[in-house]
Structure 1
Amino acid sequence: MSDAIFTLDATVRTDLGKGASRRLRHQDKVPAILYGGEDAPVSLTLEHNKVLQAQEFEAFYSHVLTINVDGKKVEALVKDMQRHPYKPKVMHIDFQRVIAGQALQTNVPLHFINEDAAASIKVEGGHAEHHMADIEITCMPKDLPEFIEVDLMDVALGQTLHISDIKLPKGVDSVELTKGESHDLAVVTVKAAKGPAVEEDAAEGDAEASEE
């Protein structure tokens, strides 16, 4: 993957408001804001085509980006992105500055591996029910992972993996787990598939109910 995907050129904009943002979008530009750290928030303008290309990559949302703001390089994370409800168009982006030596907090995607190879699924006919698609973490910028793997190879039928069961990279902590044991949320469950007998009983029950 090219590092160019993680580099965006931006200019500072002073013409603010809904009308100004609407005009920018008509010019194939994306209004954005950069905030965080000790510096004041800055309103930006980016090229829509470059943003549209970059946002197709999963890593774009969990990677430290370099934003060239009028020639000055700033490291930042995507914190929010507004899209058009039905057009392939990015409407607005919120960027948060990344400060070297200062811990950051963000969400990274979960990659479920060995799902097809797990005996509970391949042999016993179970299926994986994902409860989470990403996880909120805190770490130093240098330790930020693009994704975190969840290995299902040894997960038994009927077993649920929680956040505490996930092996996090060195230097990475779960935000939820820092809140206490009650926040050890379920990540994935290997559930038994419904057998024919169960489905037939359910169908017969529905039929009897309709006859009544």
Structure 2
Amino acid sequence: MAGEIPDLHAQERTGTGKGAARAARRAGMVPGIVFGGDNDPLPINIPFNELLKKLKKGRFKSTLFNLKVDGQEDVRVICRDVQRDVVKDLPTHLDLMRLKRTTKINLFIPIDFQHEDECPAITKGGVMTTIRGEVELLVTAGDIPDALVVDMRKLVDIGDTITISDIELPKGAELVIKDRDFMICNVSAPSALKSDGEDEDEVEADEVPTIEQEEDIPPTDGE
């Protein structure tokens, strides 16, 4: 289970309704509601600047948070909606859903590339390119993996690749994208080496003598 679930700090909102929500916004807070689970809905306020930073990082709606509210037990939540101002596009309200340990959710799990210094393809002069740094999985809230592990020692030759089928998924986790074996990373030749090879090909092509045909030759089948 992941040990670095980010905290989301909030305050319990004493009032409800539009008046309390406006007062919260004037005080630099974003009103919200926490629902689900076996408890009653909990009105909250979240500092505007803190919420805006997390939104700018991306993946806010697919990130599991540890909600910390004074006077309440910590609870795991995931965002289900963020309402924004139609003109300024700034957050004005958010809905958070409590999660049980058995709840299934979609999360982006990072890729941990291990043993790069022992990768045969890299030691041969290849350059690693990361295609995907994270993969979306359907996981159980109580068993969220820290990362998906890629053993770079499997890449032996320049041009070798790692696809999602090469990665062992954690028990109980499922891929969200199931219809293709998408690439995670590859090791390719350095760009300078590629350029040199291309130049050599062009020179060799220029050196090939042109043969003038004195008569038309019928095309072969399939041309």
Instruction: Pick the TM interval, shorter chain.
Output: 0.5 to 0.7
Count of matched residue positions in the alignment of Structure 1 and Structure 2: 187
- Quick check: 2:105–2:138 contact (8 Å CA) kept in 1? yes
Q: TM-score, normalised by structure 2?
A: 0.60
- Find the counterpart in structure 1 of residue 101 from structure 2: 100
Residue 30 and residue 147 in structure 1: after superposition, are their counterparts in 2 closer, same or farther (change >3 A)?
Answer: farther
- Find the counterpart in structure 2 of residue 87 from structure 1: none
Give the stretch that moved more between structures: 42-51 or 152-161.
42-51
Q: TM-score, normalised by structure 1?
A: 0.63
Q: 1:120: Cα distance to partner? A: 0.8
Matches within 5 A, 1:48-59: 48=48
Return the alpha-carbon distance in structure 1 between the equivalents of residues 202 and 29 of structure 2: 55
- Find the counterpart in structure 1 of residue 136 from structure 2: 136
Residue 133 and residue 126 in structure 1: after superposition, are their counterparts in 2 closer, same or farther (change >3 A)?
Answer: same
- Find the counterpart in structure 2 of residue 65 from structure 1: 66
Structure 1 gap ranges (5+): 83-89, 205-212
- Quick check: 1:5–1:54 contact (8 Å CA) kept in 2? no
- Which secondary structure state, in structure 2, belongs to the residue aligned with residue 129 of structure 1? strand
Decide which structure has the larger Cα Rg and report it. Answer: 2
Residue 33 and residue 134 in structure 1: after superposition, are their counterparts in 2 closer, same or farther (change >3 A)?
Answer: farther
Question: Percent identity between the aligned chains?
Answer: 22
Q: 1:184: Cα distance to partner? A: 2.0
Residue 200 and residue 165 in structure 1: after superposition, are their counterparts in 2 closer, same or farther (change >3 A)?
Answer: same
Return the alpha-carbon distance in structure 2 between the equivalents of residues 193 and 133 of structure 1: 21
Return the alpha-carbon distance in structure 2 between the equivalents of residues 56 and 147 of structure 1: 22
- Which secondary structure state, in structure 1, belongs to the residue aligned with residue 78 of structure 2? strand
- Find the counterpart in structure 2 of residue 159 from structure 1: 160
- Which secondary structure state, in structure 2, belongs to the residue aligned with residue 137 of structure 1? strand
- Quick check: 1:137–1:175 contact (8 Å CA) kept in 2? yes
Return the alpha-carbon distance in structure 2 between the equivalents of residues 10 and 146 of structure 1: 28
Is it true that 1:184 corresponds to 2:187 in the alignment?
A: no
- Aligned residue type for 1:198: G
- Find the counterpart in structure 2 of residue 150 from structure 1: 150
- Find the counterpart in structure 2 of residue 15 from structure 1: 18
Residue 80 and residue 114 in structure 1: after superposition, are their counterparts in 2 closer, same or farther (change >3 A)?
Answer: farther
Residue 113 and residue 30 in structure 1: after superposition, are their counterparts in 2 closer, same or farther (change >3 A)?
Answer: farther
Residue 143 and residue 5 in structure 1: after superposition, are their counterparts in 2 closer, same or farther (change >3 A)?
Answer: closer
- Quick check: 2:9–2:69 contact (8 Å CA) kept in 1? yes
Return the alpha-carbon distance in structure 1 between the equivalents of residues 28 and 107 of structure 2: 29
Q: 1:150: Cα distance to partner? A: 2.0
Q: 1:33: Cα distance to partner? A: 5.4
Structure 2 gap ranges (5+): 84-89, 204-223
- Quick check: 2:159–2:188 contact (8 Å CA) kept in 1? yes
